[in-house]
Amino acid sequence: MTSATEAVAAAAPEFVTIGEGAASRRIAVRARKGSAQGSGVPGLFWLSGFNSDMAGTKAVALDAWAAEQGRACVRFDYSGHGESGGQFVDGTIGRWAEEALAVFDRCCKGAMVAVGSSMGGWIALLVARELKRRGTPLAGLVLIAPAPDFTEELMWKNFPDAVKREIELNGVWMRPSEYGDPYPITRGLIEDGRKHLLLGGSIDIGCPVRILQGAQDPDVPWRHAFRLTECLPSDDVVLTMVQDGDHRLSRPQDIARLLAAVGEFST
């Protein structure tokens, strides 16, 4: 690792409390100020994928690059992920989006570019839409294998009837994973996801968008990314298809593409 990457990886998190009473959870955040942000250079706000955390290859590489460029960078773990408190089984899209917006409000200052991976792309779109509604849109949005509506379009609609019955009757199904241990898919996750669907109409976020998508992605088909572009009204939307790319897009050449996409937003 480079010295910048080592320093980023070794940084200890701070914790913020979100929610009240039984809904309270302790969220781990790594927020670093940027020396260049006062001159209008946007900071970066990282949003991880489902069952992923802020210590992943892309997140750390992005933060290290930001440090070298003098850019601010904010990363955090959703509840039930990484170093944050709470149980993964309690997580929903609405709960995690609430945490993302709360961390953004507390830790992000000035112009910001949100960078969302997989489910983080869905969360980033929800955050961007809310910021546009407030009149403070993002400077840009970079999405890696974005998975808006995945609980319905990529999970529920493709689940066998037996899996659907298990979720409906027992409230949870343990889904096998190529990346580690099986993880729970809950009825709450599916039902809450339906409250936050985006692909049925225009997604007005008021900022340019860059999308990186692997053509060999087994989890989020490339057609899903095309469908997303059709819902974005901005003229400044660029989709880059990585012909041999998988879902993670974490190879050195993929990281280089990510940094180049983020680097387009320099002012």
How far is Cα 39 from Cα 176, in angstroms, rounded to an integer? 47
pTM of full prediction above 0.85: yes
- Please name the amino acid found at residue 172: V
How far is Cα 146 from Cα 237, in angstroms, rounded to an integer? 14
Instruction: Kindly tell me the sign of the dihedral angle through the C-alpha atoms of 128, 158, 245, 66.
Output: positive
What are the structural domain ranges in the chain?
3-263
| Contact call for residues 69 and 37 (beta carbons, < 8 A) | no
**pLDDT exceeds cutoff 90 at 158:** yes
128-143 confidence digits (pLDDT tens): 999 999 999 999 999 9
52-63 confidence digits (pLDDT tens): 999 999 999 999
| E runs forming strands in the chain | 14-18, 25-32, 43-47, 73-76, 112-117, 140-144, 172-177, 180-186, 209-214, 237-242
**Fold type of domain 3-263:** Rossmann fold (3.40.50)
196-210 confidence digits (pLDDT tens): 999 999 999 999 999
